[in-house]
């Protein structure tokens, strides 16, 4: 038998053996077919890659290498706010950049830079695996790839762009020296503050030439490359500051691992605080603040990344309403600025700052913000900062959480008419930490309802009610309403959380109150209507804008019950009495923090939710300073300037529009007919702290260290405690409360000069009208 015959016989035998197999097995390819197919595919892939490598050239620099202006417009689509976006870049050679700065960038962004061939397959696979396993979207791009993307391509997140990036990166790595690639990357990258390139970044953050950067400064600029806007520690939120410092440490630790610096030099390097950001040209007045809010929204919502936005060319139509924006500025100037006299009172009337935001409850649109008096003089957007405690403006969230809980731990229902012990410094029962907060002016209110406690902002009541509702539930309610979950001061492990240790921004707080106004439907505040860019070739980029569907934060009956209570705060007996001048149905809450470091009013009509915060800050150290003494007044409460600004602004913003009443469906806590409490204690007598409230009872506890916001210092122990005054329960369903002659009435507004007699203004955190011309705790 010949060789050919034997082969034919073997093939025939294999065919016969295969025919004898089951059908499903015959459908599977043999190992020879599988191996041949894989080999063919591999050869095809290699061949295709080789062809693409040859035909895909290294292109000319993209259009973003020469950035255009961004144009920001008011909501009418025609009135211009500002133009920004011109490139701030000065190219430098690699020899002008300190070696340690170069090494810090390599450590932070691509530790295989000096070894890889332009791409890092292991890094790409690792990033893909981490993304798939839920560790967050991660990138595996090398410095060469990032340089190619910034300089030659676009920021589009497409497979086609990524494929071109890989091919061009391989070519660039072959054609250029590593030092040249690193120089190109450092000259084209965006570092925040409008600075493109390492030279502009050195001036923007440290006011020095790039050649004078220290090890720590170079490492910080390297850390900015990952998130330039969020990691600017001079303007970042507390949470983002921590992330920025962690990234800085990561860069330095990598330098030690790579042998660039010694452990001793690393240990001796302290974090280098950058200088304050300098205002950009053309952003004077309110323009810079409005641009900041719009930019923050576009980046945080994922609509654009920071580099693409700053590259310019965008026409951005915002949600800001120019007449309302002007009204906000005018209200601050007339109600506060005109009352200040820095020359006569340089220690108290300087560095007074206002944070404000106004949101449409039904849509979440931001119609106006107040970030400061002039961006050219104060380049900090106070409307977005998250470092001021909000005090008693948090109490409506406590109440909402209690209504959600329905029952206190002892099984009794929590309604707006549940009764609690309002004795000042009454120890809180059941809290995770000992707590016995004082009421404003150390007033004892006795057995009162949650409604009355809100009207008078009684700390001892809401400290207990929040614990009864469950601190975890209180936190969850706050987050559902729109308070960011990463702001400080919302830790359920601290009982004092109930009285407003949280530090959301004015815009965050406006969004939360807007959810109450819209019957429990929460919108994330948004500030951009339209976005487009015309490219040099004539094509138009129109990114998809986020949808603005509301979430059901609270049941309508619960949200409306809170609104019903907050209407009574704006009454002659309430801490928000000054808002009665609005002449429209309104609801709101005052807030004053301990040591008088900040004062707030957050309120809404059916059409508009607005917050106003007041604080003082040292312009050099950025330390908070007490408001006491501002405008010649001993104490500044939320019921004073913040409420007056809110009222003046809201009146102007709604001028000419029909008056709307609240359409409330309250299902919890039917108001009872019990009169407002009559004080039973006399001067020199301390009422019992053992009155059993509905929803909580007292225990022995010591005040927590560092009294939280929402309280004013109590009177000395030798001073008899004042008691609550007598009044009549107003109808919570009445369109507007009527004056009660037995309750304190709103006093004349404070004037710039100190009046001859005492000037009374409503207290922001509890108690009757407070004599602001005398020390806290003194008799009216």
pLDDT, tens digit, for every residue of 407-452?
888 888 999 999 999 999 999 999 999 999 999 999 999 999 999 9
Residues 238, 221: Cα–Cα separation, whole Å: 19
Helix (H, G, I), strand (E, B) or coil at 560: helix
HEC string of 44-96? Answer: HHHHHHHHHHHHCCCCCCCHHHCCCCEEEECCCCCCEEEEECCCECCCCCHHH
- Mean pLDDT value of segment 311-335: 95
pLDDT of amino acid 60: 53
Q: Are 455 and 489 in contact (CB under 8 A)?
A: no
pLDDT tier, 64 (very low <50, low <70, confident <90, very high otherwise): low
Give the pLDDT confidence score for residue 47 in this predicted structure.
62
- pLDDT of 650 reads 98
Closest by CA position to 401, among listed 501, 518, 524, 497: 497
CB 72 within 8 A of CB 289: no
Q: Is pLDDT of 292 > 50?
A: yes
What's the CA gap between 735 and 737, in Å, rounded?
A: 7
More confident residue, 693 or 418: 418
Mean pLDDT of the chain: 81
pLDDT of residue 590: 97
Of 208, 229, 220, 199, residue with least CA distance to 305: 229
C-alpha separations of 567 from 50, 301, 486, 727 in Å: 73, 34, 30, 17
Going through 461-619 in order, the beta strands assigned E by DSSP cover 521-522, 528-534, 540-541, 551-552, 587-592, 598-604, 609-617
> pLDDT tens, 636-677?
999 999 999 999 999 999 999 999 999 999 864 444 333 334
At a CB cut-off of 8 Å and minimum separation 6, what does 163 contact? Answer: 52
SS (H, E, C) 342-371: CCCCCCCCCCEEEEEEEECCCCCEEEEEEC
pLDDT score at 409:
85
* Sheet architecture: strand order including 528-534: 80-84, 70-73, 314-318, 528-534, 540-541
Please name which of 375, 269, 327, 410 lies closest in space to residue 608, comparing C-alpha atoms.
327
Q: Write out the H or E segment, with its range, that includes residue 517.
A: helix 506-517
Strand 314-318 and strand 366-370: the pairing is: unpaired
pLDDT-based confidence at residue 718 (cuts at 50, 70, 90)? very low
Give the rounded percent of residues in the chain with a pLDDT score beyond 90. 58
571 pLDDT higher than 90? yes
Confidence of residue 723 (pLDDT cuts 50, 70, 90): low
Q: What is the DSSP letter of 761?
A: E
Kind and range of the H or E element at 130? helix 121-132
Q: Specify the pTM.
A: 0.75
pLDDT surpassing 90 at residue 156: no
Residue 220: name the closest of 107, 348, 341 by CA: 107
d(CA 491, CA 488) in angstroms, rounded, equals: 8
| Candidate ranges 176-180, 210-214, 754-758; pick with highest mean pLDDT | 210-214
Strand 366-370 to 551-552 pairing = unpaired
Longest dimension (CA), the chain: 130
- Can you tell me the distance from the alpha carbon of 381 to that of 277, in angstroms, rounded to the nearest whole number? 11
- Judge whether residue 744 has pLDDT over 50: no
Buried b (16+ CB within 10 A) or exposed e, 687-711: bebebebbbbbbeebebbeebbbbb
Interhelix angle 641-653/322-335, rounded to 10 degrees, is: 150
Tell which residue, 551, 526, 529, 554, has the closest CA to residue 542.
Answer: 529
Q: How confident is the model at residue 705 (pLDDT cuts 50, 70, 90)?
A: very low
CA-CA distance, 420 to 422, in Å (whole number)?
6
What single DSSP character describes residue 757?
A: S
pLDDT confidence of residue 263: 96
Q: Regarding beta strands 70-73 and 314-318, do their DSSP bridges make them parallel or antiparallel, or are they unpaired?
A: parallel
Given a cut of 60, is residue 695 above it in pLDDT?
A: no
Query: Pick the residue with more confidence: 404 or 720?
Result: 404
**pLDDT surpassing 60 at residue 717:** no
Kind and range of the H or E run holding 150: helix 143-151
CA distance 747 to 696: 35
Can you give the pLDDT at residue 657? 96
Predicted confidence band at 537 (pLDDT cuts at 50, 70, 90)? low
User: Which has more pLDDT, 339 or 751?
Assistant: 339
What's the CA gap between 12 and 587, in Å, rounded? Answer: 92
Instruction: Give the separation between CA 358 and CA 527, rounded to whole angstroms.
Output: 11
In a 10 Å sphere around its CB, with 0-12 CB exposed, 13-18 middle and 19+ buried, how is residue 670 labelled?
A: exposed
C-beta separation of 588 from 570 below 8 A? yes
Contacts of 164 (CB under 8 A, 6+ apart): 56, 153
Distance CA 518, CA 185 (A): 49
How many C-beta neighbours within 10 Å does residue 93 have? 10
Give the pLDDT confidence score for residue 225 in this predicted structure: 94
**Distances in whole angstroms, Cα of residue 271 to Cα of each of 215, 218, 257, 318, 386:** 10, 11, 19, 37, 22
Question: Residue 164: its pLDDT value, please?
Answer: 72
pLDDT of residue 149: 81
pLDDT of residue 402: 96
Give the model's confidence band at 89: pLDDT under 50 very low, under 70 low, under 90 confident, else very high.
Answer: confident
pLDDT band for position 312 (cuts 50, 70, 90): confident
Q: Which of 637, 726, 609, 615 is nearest to 679 (CA)?
A: 726
Distances (CA, A) of 145 to 65, 136, 170: 16, 21, 9
pLDDT at 55: 55
Q: For residue 505, what are its two tokens?
A: 């921004």
Distance CA 423, CA 444 (A): 4
Kindly report, residue by residue over 9-32, the tens digit of the pLDDT: 777 777 777 777 777 766 677 666
Number of CB atoms found within 10 A of residue 240's CB: 18
Percentage with pLDDT > 70 across the chain: 76
Residues in contact with 346: Cβ distance below 8 Å, sequence separation at least 6, in sequence order: none
The average pLDDT across 496-519 equals: 97
> Which position has the higher pLDDT, 7 or 189?
189
């Amino acid at each position: 038998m010949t060789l050919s015959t034997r082969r034919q016989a073997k093939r025939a035998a294999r065919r016969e053996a295969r025919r004898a197999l089951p059908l499903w097995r015959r459908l599977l390819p043999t190992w020879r077919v599988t191996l041949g197919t894989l080999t063919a595919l591999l050869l095809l892939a290699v061949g295709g890659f080789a062809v693409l490598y040859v035909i895909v050239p290294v292109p000319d620099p993209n259009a973003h290498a020469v950035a255009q202006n961004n144009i920001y417009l008011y909501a009418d689509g025609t009135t211009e706010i500002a133009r920004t976006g011109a490139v701030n870049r000065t190219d430098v050679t690699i020899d002008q950049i300190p070696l340690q700065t170069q090494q810090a960038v390599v450590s932070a962004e691509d530790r295989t830079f000096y070894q890889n061939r332009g791409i890092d397959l292991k890094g790409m696979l690792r990033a893909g695996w981490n993304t798939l396993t839920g560790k967050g979207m991660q990138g595996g791009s090398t410095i060469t790839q990032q340089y190619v993307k910034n300089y030659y391509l676009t920021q589009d997140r497409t497979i086609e762009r990524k494929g071109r990036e890989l091919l061009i990166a391989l070519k660039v790595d072959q054609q250029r020296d590593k030092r040249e690639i690193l120089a190109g990357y450092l000259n084209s990258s965006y570092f925040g503050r409008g600075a493109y390139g390492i030279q502009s970044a050195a001036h923007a953050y440290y006011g020095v030439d790039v050649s004078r950067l220290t090890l720590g400064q170079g490492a910080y600029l390297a850390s900015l490359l990952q998130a330039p806007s969020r990691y600017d520690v001079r303007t970042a939120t507390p949470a983002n500051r921590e992330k920025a410092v962690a990234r800085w440490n990561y860069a330095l630790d990598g330098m030690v691992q790579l042998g660039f610096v010694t452990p001793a030099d690393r240990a001796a390097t302290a974090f280098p605080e950058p200088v304050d950001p300098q205002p950009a040209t053309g952003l004077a007045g309110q323009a810079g603040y409005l641009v900041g809010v719009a930019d923050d929204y576009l980046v945080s919502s994922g609509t654009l990344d920071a580099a693409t936005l700053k590259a310019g060319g965008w026409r951005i139509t915002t949600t800001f309403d120019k007449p309302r924006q002007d009204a906000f500025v005018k209200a601050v100037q007339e109600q506060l600025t005109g009352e200040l006299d820095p020359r006569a009172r340089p220690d108290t009337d300087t560095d007074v700052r206002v944070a404000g935001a106004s949101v449409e409850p039904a849509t979440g649109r931001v119609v106006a913000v107040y970030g400061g008096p002039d961006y050219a003089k104060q380049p900090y957007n106070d409307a977005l900062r998250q470092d001021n405690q909000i005090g008693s403006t948090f109490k409506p969230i406590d109440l909402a959480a209690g209504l959600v809980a329905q029952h206190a731990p002892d099984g009794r229902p929590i309604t707006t008419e549940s009764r609690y012990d309002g004795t000042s410094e009454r120890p809180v029962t059941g809290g995770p930490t000992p707590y016995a907060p004082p009421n404003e002016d150390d007033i004892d209110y006795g057995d009162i309802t949650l409604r009355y406690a809100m009207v008078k902002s009684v700390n001892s009541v809401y400290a207990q009610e929040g614990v009864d509702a469950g601190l975890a539930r209180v936190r969850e309610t706050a987050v559902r309403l729109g308070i960011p979950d990463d702001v400080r001061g919302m830790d359920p492990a601290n009982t004092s959380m109930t009285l407003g240790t949280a530090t959301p921004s004015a815009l965050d707080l406006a969004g939360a109150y807007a959810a109450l106004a819209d019957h429990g439907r929460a919108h994330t505040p948004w500030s951009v209507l339209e976005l487009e860019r015309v490219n040099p070739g004539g094509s138009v980029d129109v990114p998809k804008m986020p949808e603005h569907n509301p979430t059901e934060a609270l049941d309508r009956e619960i949200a409306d019950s809170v609104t019903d209570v907050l209407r009574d705060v704006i009454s002659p007996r309430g801490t928000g009495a000054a808002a009665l001048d609005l002449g429209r149905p309104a609801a709101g809450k005052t807030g004053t923090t301990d040591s008088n470091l900040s004062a707030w009013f957050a309120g809404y009509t059916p059409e508009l939710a607005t917050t106003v915060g007041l604080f003082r800050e040292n312009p050099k150290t950025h330390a908070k300073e007490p408001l006491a003494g501002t405008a010649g007044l001993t104490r500044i409460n939320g019921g004073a300037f913040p409420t007056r600004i809110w009222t003046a602004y809201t009146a102007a913003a709604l001028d000419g529009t029909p008056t709307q009443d609240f359409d409330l469906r309250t299902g919890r806590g039917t108001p009872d007919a019990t009169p407002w409490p009559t004080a039973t204690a006399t001067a020199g007598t301390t009422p019992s702290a053992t009155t059993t409230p509905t929803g909580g009872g007292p225990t022995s506890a010591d005040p927590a260290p560092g009294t939280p916001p929402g309280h004013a210092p109590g009177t000395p122990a030798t001073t008899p405690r004042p008691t609550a005054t007598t009044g009549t329960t107003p109808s919570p369903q009445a369109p507007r409360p009527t004056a009660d002659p037995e309750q304190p009435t709103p006093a004349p507004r404070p004037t710039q000069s100190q009046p001859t007699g005492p000037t009374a203004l409503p207290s922001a955190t509890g108690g009757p009208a407070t004599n602001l011309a005398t020390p806290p705790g003194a008799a009216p």
